[in-house]
Structures are given as structure tokens and as C-alpha cells.
Structure 1
Amino acid sequence: MYGRYKSGEPIRKLALAYRINRSNVDYLMKLINHHGIEILDNTSKTHYDPEWKKQIIEEVIIGEKSVYQTSIKHGLSSPGVLCNWIKQYKTAGYVIVEKRKGRPSTMKKPTKKYENMTDAEKIKYLENKNLYLELENDYLKKLDAVIQKRKQQPPKK
């Protein structure tokens, strides 16, 4: 398919010939152009480091880069992967949540009440809560700045 694309065949025709969505063909061609044909050699499931995920997510959220371009830059299999990461990141309170392999446990772990925690547990709990609140505050400040910036722009005709 890539050879046909390089020889000048339009993406629309390739999508029809291979019965693939045109946007998927376009993404695949851009991915190969950026990383080379070797990007397709990865046949095993890829595990992504949580810090690397966070860096990419923040590149989109804080750096205001597009999901599409960021996905191509980092060689993700589709932009949907990054969209899912961002959705999970926001849902989990701006913390990277790793998927666990295997069947989830059916037994629920009892959660300790704050009053029953040891001093070390209380400190850890408060540090995590403080970090969450700091990240939330930073996000809201940046969101407010973006909104203010958009309000100052003249309306489009």
C-alpha cells in the first residue's frame, strides 16, 4: 500500500481498494513517512512507561499540541490511543493509571478512615491530596488563560 501511495496514488483510492477508512490510511502513511516502514515491524503488544505517557499527555494538554500530530511524532498506533490516555488521565484526577493484567480480584480491600491511619499513612495521604490539588489548580489556571486569550481574539466572520 505504501508503495502505491509513494507512486502518487491518492489516499481516497487506497482506502477504497483496501476497504479501510480514509483517515486511517492517511494516518498510517504519515506515520510511515515520519518514522519509516520499520514502525510496522512491532508485532508484540507495546507497554508504555507511565512517565512517558504523562509527558505525552501533558504535551497535548499543557503544550496545546494536537493529538493527531503528537501521536504521529511519538509513533502511536492511532490517535485514539492518546485520546483514551487523556480521558483516563482526566477521569483519574490527573494521575496516570496503569492497567493491570489478569482477572481483577473479587475481594474488596477495606479502606481505612483518616482517623484510623497511622501518622506515616496520614502524611502520605495528605501529600497525595496536596499534589492532586496543585495539579488541578495549575490546570485550571492554564485553562483560564486559554479562555481569556480566546475572548481577546476578534470574532471570525
Structure 2
Amino acid sequence: MTKLSRQDKIDIYNSWKHYGKSSKQLAKEYGVCSGNLRYMLSLIERHRLKILDKGHITYSVEFKEAAIKRVLFDHETSYRVSLELGLPNQGTISNWIRNYIKDGYNVINHKKGRPTHERQRQANPGASKANQRPRTRELEAYCSDRIRKKIRRLGLSKN
């Protein structure tokens, strides 16, 4: 799926609203999923074009918890709740619910992206054992000889 620009979204909405093009036809024309396109059209229809000006939003734990409770306990559909809250994707609440159940029915804001470099080192115990192996005198002598040889070569190239 291609990422649509703001202008593309406005053009799609205008084609759908004013020229009567179907969402399937527009999805094929712009190379996007028709279900996601229908959600976007419903979102713009409900919140107008100002919804397109929203950037990346980090939602609070309380906001997520309220949305999850509306779906799980008040038996509202996740699609409807997503539209009312103006979430950028209809699958966002489903992801929140999955993480809510996985985390023992607690809402936790998970950090995005890859773990930091230190965490990667701690997660790989095999690499730390390789660095902590005992060094023998023979190995140290061999390494010292290699270092001296490199220094001599570097010294010769400068002259």
C-alpha cells in the first residue's frame, strides 16, 4: 500500500463526494486497500478535512483505557469507536486490546522502535562470554606481534 499525501486524500474525498466515484474504483486508482479507503472517507466525512492536519499523536494511558473499555465492556464496535475518537487507523484499537490482554489486563505505553544498543548486548549472552574468555600468554604474544607488525608497516609507508 502506498502512503497518500494530504492532497491525495483531499482529491479522493472530493472524487467520492462530488463525482460519485466508488471507493473500490478510487482504491484501484490510488493503489490502496478499499477497506482502509472507506475508513478514511468515513473519518473525513465525520471530522471534516481538519482531521488530516493531525500529526503523530501519542495517546495517554487513560485515553487508551477508556477506548478499550468502550469496546470490551460497553460492546461498541471498534470501527465506531475509532471513528468517534478520530484515530488514524481502524486497527489501532484492535492492537490496543491485544496488548491489553497480553499485558495482563493493564494498559501500558510500549516504547516504539528497536531496543537501545545496551539492551541488545545484554540480550545476547553468547557474545559477552566470547569477550570474557581467558587469554593465554601465547594468544597475547601473537596479538602483540601482529600489532608491532602493523606499526612497522605504517611507519614505512610514511617515509
Task: Tell me the TM-score range normalised by the shorter chain.
Answer: 0.5 to 0.7
2:29 corresponds to which residue? 17
- Kindly indicate whether residue 39 of structure 2 is the aligned counterpart of residue 27 of structure 1: yes
2:61 corresponds to which residue? 50
Post-superposition Cα deviations, 1:34-60, rounded to whole Å, max 9, x if no partner, equal 1111101123x2110100100000000
2:49 to 37, 41, 55: 37
Task: Spell out structure 1 runs of 4+ moving beyond 2 A.
Answer: 100-108
Structure 1, unaligned runs of 5 or more: 109-157
Normalised by the size of structure 1, how large is the TM-score?
Answer: 0.64
The SS at the match of 1:79 is: coil
1:5 to 4, 10, 16: 16
Post-superposition Cα deviations, 1:94-139, rounded to whole Å, max 9, x if no partner, equal 101112357355359xxxxxxxxxxxxxxxxxxxxxxxxxxxxxxx
Aligned counterparts, 1:109-124, within 5 A: none
2:100 to 89, 94, 99: 89
The whole-number CA distance in structure 2 between the counterparts of 1:80 and 1:101 is 17
Larger radius of gyration: 2
Structure 2, unaligned runs of 5 or more: 1-11, 124-159
1:132 corresponds to which residue? none
The whole-number CA distance in structure 1 between the counterparts of 2:45 and 2:96 is 24
Normalised by the size of structure 2, how large is the TM-score?
Answer: 0.63
1:127 corresponds to which residue? none
